[in-house]
Amino acid sequence: MLKILGKDISINVRKVLWTCRELGLPFEQEQWGAGYRATNTPEYLALNPMGLVPVLIDGDFVLTESNSICRYLANAYGGERLLPVNPRERALVEKWMDWQATELNNAWRYAFMGLIRKHPDYQDAALLQKSIDDWAKLIGLLDTHLAKTGAYVAGDNFSLADIVVGLSVHRWLSMPGEQPVFPAVNRYYQRLSERAGFREFGCNGNP
């Protein structure tokens, strides 16, 4: 049985949970991370020296980094539909996964920590506005792209890229205040909402 260490409210944990659902994989989950079981213990740091969630334990194999875990699960458990074998099709999926992990994550961090998590270290008004502007710019790029595909981020078919980008879109739409409206992104959100995995782990009340 797969074991996933990490709390339900974490976007990175939810990527892995949703991937398991899409693949029909049973799993056990333990709630680790701030507010739950502490990740700064020697026991946990031996699994992930970063002290972050999620961690996947598959028998004697331990893996960290949410996007890598999603790719591993698709590779190991018949997920070609989510991560194609064809090099070009796969590259388009991986490109958007990398974009989410590097560009999008970095853009939203300050605004998310300040406005949603209400962390005292993230309350500088100018930096909050810059983060929202950077985030909106990237969601705008995604909107232009989705208007072209008319379906999913890597083309006609749902893939791992939609799990990581879809959760990020849900986070964007959870932001308080008046934010720019992106019609293709909104249609994409509706499309994702037809999936049980997204309803369970994506748009489930956690930003």
- Interaction site with ligand GSH (CB under 6 A): 10-12, 33-34, 39, 52-54, 65-67
Residue 199: count of CB within 10 angstroms of its CB: 13
Shortest distance (Å) from residue 67 CB to ligand GSH: 6
| Dist CA 14 CA 201 (whole Å) | 6
- Give whichever of 143 and 164 is closer to ligand GSH, judged by the CB atom: 164
Please report which residue ranges of the chain form alpha helices under DSSP H: 11-23, 42-47, 66-76, 87-99, 105-111, 125-149, 160-173, 183-192, 196-201
- The two tokens of residue 37 are 């079981």
Contacts of 149 (CB under 8 A, 6+ apart): 155, 156
Can you give the length of the chain in residues?
207
Query: Minimal distance in Å, beta carbon 86 to ligand GSH?
Result: 25
> Least distance in Å: CB of 71 to ligand GSH?
12
Enter the tokens of residue 131.
Answer: 């983060």
**For residues 11 and 142, which CB has a smaller minimum distance to ligand GSH in the complex?**
11
Nearer to ligand GSH, 52 or 185 (CB): 52
Nearer to ligand GSH, 19 or 67 (CB): 67
Q: How far is the CB of 53 from ligand GSH (least distance, A)?
A: 4
Nearest to 96, CA basis, from 22, 152, 47 = 152
Q: Residue 63 or 136: which CB sits closer to ligand GSH?
A: 63
Distance in Å, CB of 105 to ligand GSH, minimum: 8
